[in-house]
Amino acid sequence: MEELTLASPAKLNLSLDVLSRRSDGYHDLKMVMCSVELADEVSVRLRGDGAVNVESNLPWLPRDRRNLAVKAAEAFFNAQGEPFPGVDIRMVKRVPVGAGMAGGSGNAAAVLRALNTLTRAGMDAEALRSLGLEVGSDVPYCIAGGNALAEGRGERLTPLPAMPECSVVICKPAFSVSTAELFRRIDGRSLRTHPDTAGMTDAMAAGDLPAIARRMYNVFEDVLPRNCAEVHTVRSALLDAGALGAVMTGTGSAVFGLFEREETARKAYETLKKSYRDCFLTRICSEPYF
Work out the pLDDT band at 38, boundaries 50, 70, 90.
very high
Long-range contacts at 150-155 (CB < 8 A, ≥ 24 apart): 150/29, 150/30, 150/31, 150/32, 150/33, 151/28, 151/29, 151/30, 151/31, 152/28, 152/29, 153/26, 153/27, 153/28, 153/29, 154/29, 154/31, 155/129, 155/130
Fold of 3-159: Ribosomal Protein S5; domain 2 (3.30.230)
Q: Cα separation of 105 and 117, whole Å?
A: 19
Q: Residue 174: what pLDDT?
A: 95
Q: Residue 1: what pLDDT?
A: 57
Does residue 138 carry a catalytic annotation? yes
Work out the pLDDT band at 2, boundaries 50, 70, 90.
confident
CATH 3.30.230.10 in the chain, residues? 3-159
pLDDT tens digits along 155-173: 999 999 999 999 999 999 9
> CA distances (Å), 50 to each of 1, 73, 77, 83, in order?
19, 11, 11, 8
Residue closest to 228 by CA, chosen among 126, 83, 98, 108:
98
Catalytic residue among 11, 30, 71, 172: 11
pLDDT tens digits along 173-227: 999 999 999 999 999 788 889 999 999 999 999 999 999 999 999 999 999 999 9
pLDDT tens digits along 70-105: 999 999 999 998 888 999 999 999 999 999 999 999
pLDDT tens digits along 101-159: 999 999 999 999 999 999 999 999 999 999 999 999 999 999 999 999 999 999 999 99
Q: Cα separation of 32 and 274, whole Å?
A: 30
Beta bridge partners, 53, equal: 88
Residue 6 contacts residue 109 (beta carbons within 8 Å)? no
> CA distances (Å), 195 to each of 16, 37, 59, 81, 220, in order?
7, 25, 38, 42, 11
pTM over 0.75: yes
- Parallel, antiparallel or unpaired: strands 167-172 and 156-159: unpaired
Catalytic residue among 17, 40, 138, 172: 138
Residue closest to 33 by CA, chosen among 129, 159, 130, 179:
159
CATH 3.30.70.890 in the chain, residues? 167-285
- Identity of the amino acid at 163: M
Does residue 274 carry a catalytic annotation? no
Q: Cα separation of 241 and 228, whole Å?
A: 21
Fold of 167-285: Alpha-Beta Plaits (3.30.70)
* 155: CB partners within 8 A, 6+ apart: 129, 130, 133, 137, 140
Q: Cα separation of 220 and 44, whole Å?
A: 35
* 252 conformational bin, left if phi > 0, alpha if psi -120 to 50, beta if neither: left
